[in-house]
Amino acid sequence: MQRCSTTAALAAILLTAATAAGAAAPGPVFDAPDTDYNAQIWANAVGGGARVPGATLEIGGEGFKPGQRIQFSRGLTPLLPSPITADAQGRISGTWTIPADAVPGVHPIVLTTESPYYAEVLPLKLSQVVPLLDNPRLRRTDAAVAPGLYQLAYSTQQNALYATSATGYPPNERSRLLEIDPQTLKIRREVTVATMPGDAGAAGAYGIGLDETRGNLWVTNTRQDALAVYDLKTLSLKKQFEKGSARHSRDVVIDAQRGRAYVSLVRDAAVAVFDARTLEPLPSIALPPAGKEVFSPASLSLDADSGTLYVSSLTGAEIAVIDGPAGKVVRRIPVPGADSTIGLDVDAKGGKAYVAAQGSDNLVVLDLKSGNVLHDVTVGSGALNVVYEPSQKLAYVVSRAAGTITVVDGDGKIVANLGDALKANHLIADGKGHVFVVDKSGQGKDTDDITRLEWAAAR
């Protein structure tokens, strides 16, 4: 649940809450309200799964007044048998089971407090359960590799997977770069990521991109607002950019033909640009809002032939199309039926964009030329990333909260939906028919997994 409020909704809450308070205890109905309310609320599914009908939620909160009583309701129906009372530190905890017949969607939930009084509206998103579906043609191999896995990249020249790994928090962050055999999924080599000047811990590596033309491996240091370049063959550090060089850097992709590295800056509504030859910064590309929502760049997808860069917006439902050589936005493509378009992969030859939307739990397939929706497929709670595998013309989507890997064919039909992928985080295709998936602290284990998927030829 996230905080939100509207004047009309709050007015209705005041009347309901005042009536309830008057019935519950003597005293003034309009006593002094909580004028400095600043509590935070969360509601997570037990076991880290999805918020779906029938799931039990662990409700937590902090920042309440000690002894303050809290109730949640939908309409006129209280959700808890009795209010929760904040402890001496202003914290609350409890559980609530979502009714099995609840309709998926975003439900406005009313939070009301007493002693002192406050009320607000919280949106509770309930996701649809997408049934698991095995497919005998889909071969799966799982291997425990390392803790804190985040993103993957594949090198054709080295026939190797490269993964970033980061655990802990600054200043005690620990991070490694791993070279992994794509067949055995065993670590071939690894190095500890370098520290930033003045930091005790490593400059955690998260996003990853390869420049095989120059033998460079680029990583984003998200928490340090920076990035670094390593030698692809030796994994030795070539250049560590300073703090502030790439604010909340997320993804990085390399246009090797034109010598450009692009980095999505989630908090700056911009894509940072670097010279892949000299490793020096170039002017960034601004992404001004097209409507009310600020553009928050997340995933990047590059058409290597034309140099066109496609960028998804985490805070809205659109794709920005950037002319890379010109360094400017040339088009904005809305994504109807989507909310929080975080994952993106573009099949430029096929003229399609594949968009994973974590707010609406779906995969939207767009016609790049017209912008029309070709397919809208519900895939699971928290759809996070997508990759298109061209040899079989299949789209693979990881849904982090649902813990699934969903495979969608060219007709928009789900042909496989695999479980046992809790907290699946990132995936790539190697151009040889394989798809690799990484989870991020998802199985309650000390070591995270890499999964290799291969669609077997029809007999």
For 155-173, what is the mean pLDDT?
89
Q: How confident is the model at residue 446 (pLDDT cuts 50, 70, 90)?
A: confident
Distance between CA atoms of residues 170 and 248, nearest Å: 14
Higher model confidence: residue 56 or residue 290?
Answer: 56
Same fold, 7-126 and 138-455: no
Please check the confidence at residue 263 and state whether its pLDDT lies above 60. Answer: yes
| Range with lowest mean pLDDT among 28-32, 396-400, 426-430 | 28-32
pLDDT digit string, tens, across residues 126-157: 999 999 999 999 999 999 999 999 999 999 99
What region does 15 belong to: left with phi over 0, alpha with psi -120 to 50, or beta? alpha
pLDDT at 459: 65
What's the mean pLDDT when you consider all of the chain?
91
pLDDT at 334: 96
AA identity, residue 141: T
Pick 7-126's CATH classification: 3.40.630.190, 3.40.630.40, 3.40.50.2300, 2.60.40.1930. Answer: 2.60.40.1930
**Residue 1, class by beta-carbon neighbours within 10 Å (0-12 exposed, 13-18 middle, 19+ buried)?**
buried
pLDDT digit string, tens, across residues 67-86: 999 999 999 999 999 999 99
pLDDT digit string, tens, across residues 13-37: 444 444 444 444 566 889 999 999 9
Which CATH number applies to 138-455? 2.130.10.10
**Residue 398 structure tokens:** 């990881």
Return the domain boundaries, the chain.
7-126, 138-455
Share of the chain above pLDDT 70, in %: 92
